[in-house]
């Protein structure tokens, strides 16, 4: 196989897929009049290990480095917490029509597994920037 063809194949394998319609919609940061919107985001430089969190003790999501999740939640107090020994806890008193951002940080390696996790409310400006760079779960 020619060297040029090999390089073309390797580069094609690195091509990023276009964003999904759900990802495009989520990144418009639309408010929902009767619900709160909570974005949970991981930075691209975070560990690639999965980090699982509870949303109100009723649903679980697992985030990975460079991903985000958009949660439309009813007004009221909502709890985001680490799962199975993973630490971190954030409570949000969610108001209808408002947007909130939570950074989920995971430290660990494939060899050692997840060592620590953290959940932290961040500003809207920082949150929008992180979500804009991330991909939807």
Q: Of the given ranges (1-5, 38-42, 48-52, 122-126), which has the lowest mean pLDDT?
A: 1-5
Q: What is the CATH number of the domain that holds 115?
A: 2.60.40
Examine residue 51 and state whether it is found in any structural domain, yes or no.
yes
pLDDT digits (tens, 9 = 90+) for 32-54: 999 999 999 998 888 888 888 99
Examine residue 1 and state whether it is found in any structural domain, yes or no.
no
Would you state the pLDDT for residue 104?
Answer: 93
Would you state the pLDDT for residue 122?
Answer: 97
pTM above 0.85, yes or no: no
CA distances (Å), origin 133, targets 41, 67, 119: 10, 9, 19
Would you state the pLDDT for residue 116?
Answer: 75
Rounded Cα distance, 47 and 114, in Å: 9
Examine residue 79 and state whether it is found in any structural domain, yes or no.
yes
Would you state the pLDDT for residue 2?
Answer: 54
Would you state the pLDDT for residue 114?
Answer: 66
Domain that holds residue 32: 22-136
Examine residue 120 and state whether it is found in any structural domain, yes or no.
yes
pLDDT digits (tens, 9 = 90+) for 56-111: 988 999 999 999 999 999 999 999 998 765 678 899 999 999 999 999 988 876 77
- List residues bridging with 39 in a β-sheet: 70, 101
Rounded Cα distance, 123 and 102, in Å: 9
How many domains would you assign to the chain? 1
Rounded Cα distance, 98 and 13, in Å: 40
Would you state the pLDDT for residue 10?
Answer: 45
Examine residue 40 and state whether it is found in any structural domain, yes or no.
yes
CA proximity to 61, closest of 89, 92, 88, 82 = 82
CA 88 and chain centroid, separation: 15
pLDDT-based confidence at 9, cuts 50/70/90? very low
Examine residue 41 and state whether it is found in any structural domain, yes or no.
yes
């Amino acid at each position: 196989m020619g060297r040029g063809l090999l390089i073309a194949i390797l580069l094609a394998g690195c091509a990023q897929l276009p964003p999904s319609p759900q990802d495009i919609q989520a990144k418009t940061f639309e408010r929902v009049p009767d619900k709160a919107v909570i974005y949970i985001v991981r930075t691209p430089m975070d560990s690639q290990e999965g980090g699982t969190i509870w949303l109100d003790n009723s649903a679980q999501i697992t985030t990975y480095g460079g991903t985000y999740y958009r949660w439309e939640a009813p007004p009221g107090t909502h709890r985001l917490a680490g799962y199975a020994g993973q630490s971190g806890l954030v409570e949000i008193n969610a108001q209808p029509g408002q947007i909130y951002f939570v950074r989920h940080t995971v430290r660990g390696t494939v060899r050692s597994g997840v060592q620590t996790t953290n959940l932290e409310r961040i500003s809207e400006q920082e949150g929008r920037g992180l979500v804009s760079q991330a991909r939807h779960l």
